[in-house]
Amino acid sequence: MTKLIAALVLTTVISTTAAEFPEIKLWPAGMPEPVVPAEPPEKTERGPDGITRRSNVSQPRLFVHEPPATVTRTGTAVIVVPGGGFGRLADEHEGSDAAAWLAKQGIVAFQLAYRTPTTKHKEPHAGPAQDVQRAVSEVRRRATELKLDAKKIGVLGFSAGGQVALIAATSDRLFPSEANATSHKPDFLLVVYPYKIYDPATKALRADIHLEAGLPPTFIAQAGDDGGSLPQGSTLLYLDLITRKIPAEIHIYEKGGHGFGMRPRPNATGPTDWPLRAADWLRLRGLAAPLP
C-alpha cells in the first residue's frame, strides 16, 4: 500500500508540474546502476528566491519544448542539462527557461530531468552521465519521428550539468549497448559555468574528462568571480580545444557569480549577455534560425 501511495503521489506531481510538455522516458525497461529509489517521491518546490527546483528524480526523462509556430524550425535539437549540485535540479532557470529560449531560436529543446539526488553515490556524476548519453542517443534514434537532423544533436549543460555533459561526451558508452542504439556523442556542446572541472591539486582538468577522446565544437561561458566553478577550468578547457583545433568560443565575464542561468543579476553583464552570444554562435553554425 505504501508503494502504491508513493506511486500515485509521484504521478500527481509529475502530471501537475510538466503536463504541458510531452515526455520521453529514458529507461522504460529499467535503468542501470546506480539508481535513485522511488521514495521519497519526486517533487518541485519554489524557493525563497522565487525559483522552482526539482528533487527526488527516480524516473529520468525528457520534456519536449517545440519551437513556436512563428519561428522557422532548423532541425536542431538540444538536450538541456540543469545544475543543482547533484542534490536537486535547478530546472527552471537552468532548465525550462533555457528550453524556451532555445525554442525561440527554432531549436527543439529537450529538458532533461536526470536522476537525483546522487550526492551519496560513490561518483555523483555517474548516473546523470548515463542519462545524458542515453538522452543524446534516444533523441538521435527518434530524429525522423521528431523531424530533426540526426547530425544536429547538441547538449547545453549548466554547473553540475556542464560537468556531466563533458564527462558524458568524452567517455565511451556508460551503459550496456542495445541493438538499435545510436551514437551518444553530441554534435555540438554548450557549457555554462561547468561545476568543478578544475582540479586545484593538479592545476589541470579533472581526470574523468577525457579530452583525448575528442569534443565537438564547443561554446563556453561563465563569470570570473564564480567561486563554485572556477574560471581556470573553463579557460583550460578552451585552451585544450583550440590546441586540438576543435572550434571553440569562450566568454568570461568579470562579475556574475554562480548559478544565474537565464536570469539577470545586478551590476553584472554576463547573465544577460551570454544567451545573445550563444545565439550568435548557434546561428553562425547553421543551428539556429536566422534573425528576422
Of how many residues is the chain composed?
Answer: 292
Amino acid 81 reads V
The three cell numbers locating residue 121: 553515490
**Does position 283 have pLDDT exceeding 90, yes or no?**
yes
> What confidence tens digit (pLDDT) does each residue in 175-189 have?
987 767 899 999 999
Q: From CA 99, how far away is CA 105, in angstroms rounded?
A: 10
The angle formed by the CA atoms of residues 26, 72 and 136, to the nearest 5 degrees, is 20
H/E run at residue 11: helix 2-18
**59: Cα within 13 Å, side-chain hemisphere:** 17
Q: For residue 243, is it within any domain?
A: yes
Number of domains in the chain: 1
| Domain membership of residue 10 as a residue range | 2-284
Is 143 within a domain? yes
**Using CA atoms, how far apart are residues 70 and 50, in angstroms rounded to an integer?**
30
Q: Are 197 and 225 in contact (CB under 8 A)?
A: no
The label of the residue with cell 525550462 reads 96
Tell how strand 204-205 and strand 198-199 pair up.
antiparallel
* CATH code of the domain containing 169: 3.40.50.1820
Helices (H), the chain: 2-18, 97-103, 126-141, 160-169, 231-243, 270-284
* pLDDT tens track for 1-16: 333 333 333 333 333 3
Q: Residue 51: pLDDT above 60?
A: yes
Q: How many whole angstroms separate alpha carbon 242 and alpha carbon 240?
A: 6
Give the pLDDT band (50/70/90) at residue 110: very high
Residue 290 lies in a domain: no
291 belongs to a structural domain: no
- Alpha-carbon distance of 271 to 257, in angstroms, equals 9
For residue 77, is it within any domain? Answer: yes
Residue 289 lies in a domain: no
Strand partners, 218: 189, 248
Residue 292 belongs to a domain? no
With pLDDT > 90 as the criterion, what percentage of the chain qualifies? Answer: 88
